[in-house]
Chain A
Amino acid sequence: MPHYETFEYDVLVIGAGGAGLRAAIEASAAGVRVGLVCKSLLGKAHTVMAEGGIAAALANVDERDNWKVHFADTMRGGQYVNQWRMVELHAKEAPDRVRELEAWGAVFDRTKDGRILQRHFGGHKYPRLAHVGDRTGLEMIRTLQDHGVHQGIDVHMEHTILSLVKDGDRVVGAFGYERERGRFKIFRAKAIVLATGGIGRAYKITSNSWEYTGDGHALAYDAGAELIDMEFVQFHPTGMVWPPSVMGILVTEGVRGEGGILTNKEGKRFMFDAIPENYRSQTADNEEEGWRYCQGHKDARRPPELLTRDHVSRCIVREIKEGRGSPHGGVFLDISWIKQKLPNAAEHIKRKLPSMYHQFKQLADIDITEQPMEVGPTTHYIMGGVRVDPDTQMTRLPGLFAAGECAAGINGANRLGGNSLSDLLVFGKRAGEFAAKFAKENQHGPVEREKIDTVAREALAPFESRDRESENPYAIQKDLQETMQDLVGIVRHETEMREALERIDKFKSRAEKAAVTGNREYNPGWHTALDLDNLLIVSEAITRAALERKESRGAQFREDYPHKDERFGSVNTIISKAANGSMEIRLEPLPEMPDHLKQVIEENR
Chain B
Amino acid sequence: MKTAVFKIWRGDAKGGEFRDYTTEVAEGMVVLDAVHEIQRTQAPDLACRWNCKAGKCGSCSAEVNGMPKLMCMTRLSEVPLEKPVTIEPIKAFPVIKDLVTDVSWNFRVKKKIKPFNPRPPDAPDGTWRMQQEDIDRVQEFRKCIECFLCQDVCHVLRDHQMHDKFIGPRFLIHVAALEMHPLDTEDRIEELRSSQGIGYCNITKCCTKVCPESIQITDNGIIPLKERVVDEFYDPLGWFWKGLKRLLNR
Number of A-B contacts (CB under 8 A): 168
Is B59 in contact with A114, judged by CB distance below 8 angstroms? no
Q: Given contacts A48-B57, A521-B12, are A40 and B46 in contact (CB under 8 A)?
A: no
Q: How far is the CB of B73 from chain A (nearest CB, A)?
A: 5
- Chain A's closest residue to B117 (CB) is A105
Tell me which of B53, B107, B145 contacts A209 (CB under 8 A). B53
A525 and B132 contact, CB distance less than 8 A: no
The answer to whether B49 and A362 touch across the interface, beta carbons within 8 angstroms, is no
The yes or no answer to B83 lying at the interface (CB within 8 A) is: no
Task: Take A109-B132, A243-B29, A522-B98 as given contacts and tell me if A146 and B116 are in contact as well, using a CB distance cutoff of 8 Å.
Answer: yes
A525 touches B103 (CB 8 A): no
A244 interfacial by beta-carbon distance below 8 Å: yes
Most A CB contacts (10 A, CB to CB) among B57, B100, B181 go to B57
Known: A115-B127, A244-B28, A524-B47. A139 touches B142 (CB 8 A): yes
Contact status A180-B58, CB under 8 Å: no
> How far, in angstroms, from A250 to B118 measured CA to CA in the complex?
34
A475: B residues at CB distance < 8 A: 40
Which A residues are CB-close (under 8 A) to B111? 149-150
Min CB–CB distance B5 → chain A (angstroms): 19
- From A110, which residue of chain B is reached at the shortest CB distance? B132
CA distance A109 to B131 in the complex (A): 9
User: Does chain B have a CB within 8 A of A498?
Assistant: no
A105-B127 in contact given A209-B51, A210-B51, A359-B54 (Cβ < 8 Å): no
Q: Does A138 contact B (CB under 8 A)?
A: yes
Nearest neighbor of A518 in chain B, beta-carbon distance: B45
Interface positions of A from 572 to 593, Cβ below 8 Å from B: none
Residues A44 and B51 in contact, CB atoms below 8 Å apart: yes
What 1/0 mask marks residues of chain A from 391 to 424 whose CB sits below 8 Å from any chain B CB? Answer: 0000000000000000000000000000000000
Chain-B contact segment, one of A96-104, A379-387, A436-444, A555-563: A96-104
Report the minimal beta-carbon distance from A279 to chain B, rounded to whole angstroms. Answer: 31
Given contacts A110-B135, A146-B115, A472-B44, contact A44 B57 (CB under 8 A): yes
- The contact string, 1 if C-beta is below 8 Å from chain B, for chain A 91-126, is 000000001001111010110011110000000000
Q: Are B28 and A364 in contact (CB under 8 A)?
A: yes
CB of B135 within 8 A of CB of A355, answer no
Given contacts A113-B129, A135-B143, A138-B56, are A180 and B96 in contact (CB under 8 A)? Answer: yes
Q: Is B236 an interface residue (CB 8 A)?
A: no
Per DSSP, are chain B's interface residues mostly helix, strand or loop, or mixed? loop
Considering only CB atoms, which chain B residue lies closest to A132 in the complex? Answer: B139
Query: Are A41 and B127 touching (Cβ within 8 A)?
Result: no
Shortest Cβ distance from B174 into chain A, in angstroms?
Answer: 8
Q: Please measure, in the bound complex, the distance between the C-alpha atom of A104 and the C-alpha atom of B181, giving whole angstroms.
A: 12
Q: Is the CB of B39 within 8 A of A102?
A: no
Which residues on the A side are within 8 Å of B124 (C-beta)?
none
Shortest C-beta distance, A577 to chain B (Å), equals 30
Asked if residues A41 and B44 are in contact (CB atoms below 8 Å), the reply is: no
Contacts of B138 in A (CB 8 A): 107
Contacting residues, chain A, for B118 (C-beta < 8 A): 103, 105
Q: Indicate which residue in B44, B52, B116 contacts A516 across the interface (CB closer than 8 Å).
A: B44
Within 8 A of B (CB), among A521-546: 521-526, 528
Query: In the complex, which of the residues B41, B131, B142 contacts A142, with contact meaning CB atoms closer than 8 Å?
Result: B142
- Asked if A526 contacts B45 (CB within 8 A), the reply is yes
The reply to whether A525 and B28 contact each other, CB–CB distance below 8 Å, is no
Q: Is A600 an interface residue (CB 8 A)?
A: no
By the criterion CB–CB under 8 Å, are A524 and B127 in contact?
Answer: no
A245 to B26, CA, bound (A): 9
Contacts of A137 in B (CB 8 A): 56
Bound-complex Cα distance A204 to B54 (A): 17
Chain A window 348-377, contacts with chain B (Cβ cutoff 8 Å), 1 for yes, 0 for no = 000000010011001110000000000000
A49 and B56 contacting across the interface, CB-CB below 8 Å: yes
Report yes or no: B145 in contact with A138, Cβ–Cβ below 8 A.
Answer: yes
A474 to chain B, nearest CB (A): 4
* Contact in complex: A242, B28 (CB < 8 Å): yes
What are 12 A-B residue pairs whose CB atoms fall within 8 Å in the complex?
Answer: A41-B49, A44-B57, A48-B57, A109-B139, A114-B129, A149-B110, A211-B51, A359-B55, A517-B45, A522-B47, A522-B98, A524-B44
User: Sorted from nearest, which 4 A-B pairs have the closest CB atoms?
Assistant: A243-B28, A525-B44, A518-B45, A114-B129
- Given A138-B145, A150-B115; 4 other pairs, CB 8 A cutoff: A40-B59, A110-B135, A363-B30, A363-B54
